[in-house]
Amino acid sequence: MSPKENAQILTTLLFKNNIKQGEYFEDKSINCNNWQILATHSRHHLGFYDLYRNHFLSCVINPNFFFFSLKTKDDQGHHHSFFHATTFKKLVVQYVNSLYKNPLLMSRFNPDSDNYQQFLKKFKKHQNKLQAIKNTWTDQSNRNLGYLINDENDIILRTSKKDPRNILSIDVTYRKKK
């Protein structure tokens, strides 16, 4: 079994064994292959955290939108051995859609993320937000989950007041495909 397949299976097991509608908890310690994972599940938040390696799969949820915060690679680009972001996102989308009707999926790219770098590289070349966003892993995975950007207004570039060319973060709104 490949490391990716192993991470997909372990992420699925972590989710399905711990996240159940109406069963909430905070800071539950889970032993996963001799690693301690901290889990939390409330009405508005669910997540898994490897505090030792500073990796996490997390999502904020409310009736109008949900928002992922994911870190599954270290500074050298090595993937976490049992956190798989795409699998987590798929499971959360199913869970959220069982709770709420058509919530928005929000994304934010910060300068330390691969998505930010992918966006910026394309944006500097073409000056087109829609074209640049399609270059990101997040956009590709969100489209595969059935969430799309309506138009350029769904992409907000947060810039520095001192230098408007300095993009501090990128906020993106996705809507469920009809």
* Pairwise CA distance, residues 42 & 128, whole Å: 38
Question: What distance, in Å, lies between the first and last C-alpha atoms of the chain?
Answer: 37
Whole-model pTM over 0.85: yes
* Pairwise CA distance, residues 166 & 160, whole Å: 6
Question: Could you tell me the CA-to-CA distances from 59 to 1, 33, 56, 63 in Å, in that order?
Answer: 28, 23, 10, 13
Percent of the chain beyond pLDDT 70?
100
**pLDDT tens sequence across 105-114:** 999 998 988 8
CB 104 within 8 A of CB 63: no
Statement: residue 162 has pLDDT above 80: yes
Compute the chain's Rg from CA coordinates.
17
* Pairwise CA distance, residues 57 & 161, whole Å: 32
Q: What contacts 106, CB < 8 A, 6 or more positions away? A: 65, 66, 67, 171, 172, 173, 174
